[in-house]
């Protein structure tokens, strides 16, 4: 009799485990299907039942990246709003949600991520690099307003200004220059400045802007040096 009850107990536990696994697998499929078809209410219901907003699909791609790639933006917003959502979660090539929102010009999602505290100055590739390479002017302004570093160096040695030059986008170049990007920096991998890169790639409008801003930049540096020298001289005279 004791063996019978032990076997019965084991059977109940086993059935419970199998049932739980089936529910979990079922929820997984339902979750990513709802993402694909942008069904935010289904996503919200699954999250309320304890589904992890940071789950990855069978290829290792996080849910938020799947939503962005599928342009399931309502569902993406639900994920970002969840208190357990990881703002800096990366895909298999190290891209954050904000980086993808920047390159795909997803303005509302980018605003939501930034307001929740997404990092605009992460090491390596930054969201500003991604916005600049595609000339996403509004997103560039958003990131700059949040103190994105204008002269961040990418793993390829490019600054956002250099990437704007590669894209041949004068508006993006002008915005970066007006905000204070340094046009004299050199890419250590190819020895190009933004100006020499524009010349090499025949990006005439970008080159014209950079030449003008470089001249102004150098004049400002000279004036600052002269002012500092005059101040030092005045201080020395005052000590005598």
- Greater confidence (147 vs 227) lies with 147
Average pLDDT estimate for 34-51: 97
Q: What pLDDT does residue 238 have?
A: 75
Q: What pLDDT does residue 11 have?
A: 46
Give me the count of residues in the chain.
240
Q: What pLDDT does residue 24 have?
A: 62
* Nearest of 91, 32, 79 to residue 57 by alpha carbon: 32
pLDDT-derived band at 96, boundaries 50, 70, 90: very high
Work out the percent of the chain whose per-residue pLDDT is above 70.
Answer: 89
Instruction: Count CA atoms closer than 13 A to 98's CA, side-chain side.
Output: 27
Average pLDDT estimate for 180-198: 96
- d(Cα 179, Cα 91) in Å, to the nearest integer? 31
Token digits for 203?
Answer: 């990006």
Which residues, other chains included, contact 66 with Cβ-Cβ below 8 Å and sequence gap of 6+? 32, 35, 36, 57, 72
pLDDT-derived band at 220, boundaries 50, 70, 90: confident
pLDDT, tens only, 129-155: 999 999 999 999 999 999 999 999 999
pTM score, whole prediction: 0.82
Q: What pLDDT does residue 29 have?
A: 92
Q: What share of the chain is helix, strand, coil (3-state, %, to 5)?
A: 65, 0, 35
DSSP per-residue letters across 150-211:
TTPPPTTS--HHHHHHHHT-HHHHHHHHHHT--TT---TTT---HHHHHHHTT-HHHHHHHH
Q: What pLDDT does residue 232 have?
A: 74
Average pLDDT estimate for 73-102: 98
Which residues, other chains included, contact 112 with Cβ-Cβ below 8 Å and sequence gap of 6+? 77, 80, 81
Poorest-pLDDT segment among 90-94, 118-122, 184-188, 228-232 = 228-232
CATH number of the 1-85 domain: 1.25.40.20
Poorest-pLDDT segment among 16-20, 94-98, 173-177 = 16-20
Task: Give ∠ CA 153-155-159 in degrees, rounded to 5.
Answer: 30
Q: Is it the case that residue 180 has pLDDT exceeding 60?
A: yes
Q: What pLDDT does residue 215 have?
A: 86
């Amino acid at each position: 009799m004791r063996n019978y009850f032990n076997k019965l107990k084991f059977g109940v536990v086993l059935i419970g485990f199998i049932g739980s696994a089936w529910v979990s697998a079922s929820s997984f499929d339902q979750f990513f299907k709802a993402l694909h078809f942008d069904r935010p209410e289904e996503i919200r219901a699954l999250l309320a039942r304890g589904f992890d907003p940071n789950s990855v699909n069978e290829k290792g791609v996080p849910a938020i990246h799947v939503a962005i790639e599928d342009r399931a933006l309502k569902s993406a917003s639900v994920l970002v709003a969840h208190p357990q959502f990881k703002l800096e979660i990366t895909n298999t090539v190290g891209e954050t949600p904000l980086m993808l929102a920047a390159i795909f010009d997803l303005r509302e999602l980018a605003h939501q991520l930034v307001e929740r505290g997404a990092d605009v100055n992460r090491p390596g590739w930054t969201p500003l690099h991604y916005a600049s390479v595609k000339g996403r002017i509004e997103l560039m302004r958003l990131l700059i307003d949040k103190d994105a570093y204008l002269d961040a160096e990418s793993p390829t040695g490019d600054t956002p200004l250099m990437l704007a030059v590669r894209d041949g986008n004068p508006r993006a170049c002008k915005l970066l220059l007006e905000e204070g990007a340094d046009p004299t920096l050199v890419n250590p991998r190819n020895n190009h400045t933004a100006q020499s890169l524009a010349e090499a790639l025949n990006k005439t409008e970008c080159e014209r802007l950079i030449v003008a801003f470089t001249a102004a930049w150098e004049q400002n540096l000279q004036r600052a040096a002269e002012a500092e020298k005059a101040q030092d001289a005045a201080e020395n005279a005052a000590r005598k």
